[in-house]
Amino acid sequence: MKLTTRDLTHMSIMAALTLVSSFIAIPLGPVAVTLQTLFVLLTGLLFTPIQAFYTQLLNLLLMLLLRGPQIIISPSFGFLISFIVVATLLAWLKESGRIKKASHLVIIGTVISYVIGTPYMAFILNQVLDLNLSFKDILYAGVLLFLPGDAMKALLSIGFLKSINRVTVFQNKSKTH
């Protein structure tokens, strides 16, 4: 698949939005609340799988460049890795026609983010930082604290998708509703 200048521009803008949203953070336990998930979900809903992959890979590389390699031992790094998987998988599920409803896609994306990010967070907190937190504490710190905010971001992504779909700039052959 050939990426056009327009595709690359859209991808760069989305990577930049994801990156910038990481700097607006509310500290809440070992992982801060940001709007990154909103832009990751939009990436998966708006782009093709290859575009989504490269968009979130660019975000991760920029994050490593700006924050340094020590971010790898941050409890939130697993969630950053999950962004690539989530965006790519959502785009693939949408494009393949396996799942057409945006509401189903954002739920799947949110769950996958937790499935990848929470074990990484547990490893860093318990093995690297030697905090010896229980499964219940990890579940609370990595999932339960974030469920209300992630539900809001999922709803926002669907709302933005509907608004963006009215503009032909982002429309693809495979529409999500």
Structure confidence at residue 165 (pLDDT): 82
In a domain, 170, yes or no: no
The confidence band for 19, taking pLDDT boundaries of 50, 70 and 90, is very high
Neighbours of 152 (CB within 10 A): 13
Q: How many independent structural domains does the chain possess?
A: 1
Mean pLDDT for 2-24 is 96
In a domain, 175, yes or no: no
- How many whole angstroms separate alpha carbon 163 and alpha carbon 169? 11
Condensed to tens digits (0 to 9), the pLDDT of residues 59-87 reads: 999 999 999 999 999 999 999 999 999 99
In a domain, 127, yes or no: yes
In a domain, 14, yes or no: yes
In a domain, 177, yes or no: no
Query: What single string gives the DSSP state of each residue in 108-175?
Result: HHHHHHHHHHHHHHHHIIIIIS-----HHHHHIIIIITTHHHHHHHHHHHHHHHHHHHTSTTS--SS-
Q: Please determine, for residue 131, whether its predicted confidence score (pLDDT) is greater than 60.
A: yes
CATH number, domain with residue 11: 1.10.1760.20
Q: Which strand (E) or helix (H) includes residue 13?
A: helix 5-22
In a domain, 115, yes or no: yes
Q: Please determine, for residue 21, whether its predicted confidence score (pLDDT) is greater than 90.
A: yes
Neighbours of 97 (CB within 10 A): 8
Q: Which residue has the tokens 């890979």?
A: 57
Structure confidence at residue 166 (pLDDT): 81
In a domain, 154, yes or no: yes
Per the prediction, the chain carries an average pLDDT of 93
Structure confidence at residue 30 (pLDDT): 82
- How many whole angstroms separate alpha carbon 27 and alpha carbon 129? 18
In a domain, 102, yes or no: yes
- Structural domain harbouring 156: 5-165
Q: Please determine, for residue 47, whether its predicted confidence score (pLDDT) is greater than 90.
A: yes
